[in-house]
Structure 1
Amino acid sequence: MFDQSQIQEFKEAFTIMDQNRDGFIDKGDLRDTFAALGRINVKNEELEAMVKEAPGAINFTVFLTMFGEKLKGTDPEETILHAFKVFDTEGKGFVKADFIKEKLMTQADRFSEEEIKQMFAAFPPDVCGNLDYRNLCYVITHGEEKD
């Protein structure tokens, strides 16, 4: 499912999230991880929902399996790129962030305001309000930014 370098990256992520170093990720670990990322007021229900996605206690094997299942449903990079290109009528490699926000919040599987904030926190528009969708597509499908 994953190559050795990907497994190592997941192991590092697991180790960071396992805040109390007991070999399992639980609600307390998730709360501490969110706090380390600057999100202090995470609702207990949200943490419970995350933990309930697992079939049992979340050790590294379960963590890796869950990511495999989540990533399996990701469209290929080219498919996602073509979806954004529809909005890039001038072929510049970017679209206006406000335009994408409006489309994501009003069409099909609508994004919430919180999901929009999370997306723009991870992929902030440039000073002109443009979203580099090529880099966004790469990160969605490969998990890290191009150099």
Structure 2
Amino acid sequence: MLLGFVCVCSLELVSGTEEECFCLYDRQRKGKIEAQDLITVMRCLGSNPTPSEVQRHLLSHNIGRSGELDFSTFLSIMHQQLLQEAPEKEILDAMRMADKEQKGFILASELRAKLTGLGEKLSDQEVDELLKEAGVGLDGLVHCEQFAKAVARCCAKR
């Protein structure tokens, strides 16, 4: 290990790759990277955060745009981002919140309204594609677990 960092993340020992990439952007060799380099370092490691996600991560650690972060903070942010990028659980949790009666399914029309009207809005065509992939029944019901798996598969293909 280049700087002697040891950290356990998601029950696995951090590989040297994270440390090597971090060190490439530690230009002043003081064990820190500039906040403005965070998105680049994360993308070098295969993560795909949006600028707003990176800003949110920095704010959660009280780091401004001109601030710096150490390796431990970087690993914490990477861990949070990777959890975010595991869409199946996140989608299933959101589906369960919409399934007020906890039956394991919601109406396709209700899901369509949420996906086209809330948050990062999807187009009708994108929703049609997801519903087709999830195999919506003739009864118009979307089964939460099937939908979450279908969306995760779609994300993995991209």
User: TM-score range, shorter-chain basis?
Assistant: 0.3 to 0.5
Higher strand share: 2
TM-score by length of 2: 0.41
TM-score by length of 1: 0.44
The structure with more radius of gyration: 2
